[in-house]
Amino acid sequence: MADPLPKYARVDTLNPEAFAQCDRCGFWRNRSDLVWQYEWAGMQLYSKGTLVCFDRCYDIPQEQLRTIILPPDPPPIVNARVPNFDYEEQTPIIYQFGSPLGINNELPPWAAGPQLLMCNQQGTQILVLQYLTSS
């Protein structure tokens, strides 16, 4: 016949203590060996309402769930000099003229297919790619 005592619980006849079951692993332990599981929520820890064994099932609360307190912004620089980077910024724009295939499923004539144009900040357009004409 199997031993009726739990594996991890201690029995003391002089100092009796209650048994309790871990909510995660299900092992029976002394109630004093079980702790509440806590989790971060905002600025404080809150109890999840589960009793778990400290040596096997207790999870350290995740700092990822904690609210991040950012320091204040630094004071602004008076009369700052920022370099002009407009000449380095170009935006690709794709235009579509006509249908992708011409009449009778042929390649479209010159300037009828999709074109890739580069536009700078002043609005100047530079043609980069265009369909070749069919020969």
* SS3 (DSSP) at 134: coil
Which amino acid is located at 83 in the chain?
P
The per-residue pLDDT for range 60-113, each reduced to its tens digit, is 999 999 999 999 999 988 888 877 776 666 655 555 555 555 455 555 555 555
Contact at 8 Å (CB) between 59 and 35?
no
pTM greater than 0.85 (yes/no): no
pLDDT digit string, tens, across residues 15-43: 999 999 999 999 999 999 999 999 999 88
Query: Could you tell me the two tokens for 124?
Result: 């100047």
Q: Is 43 exposed, middle or buried (0-12, 13-18, 19+ CB in 10 A)?
A: exposed
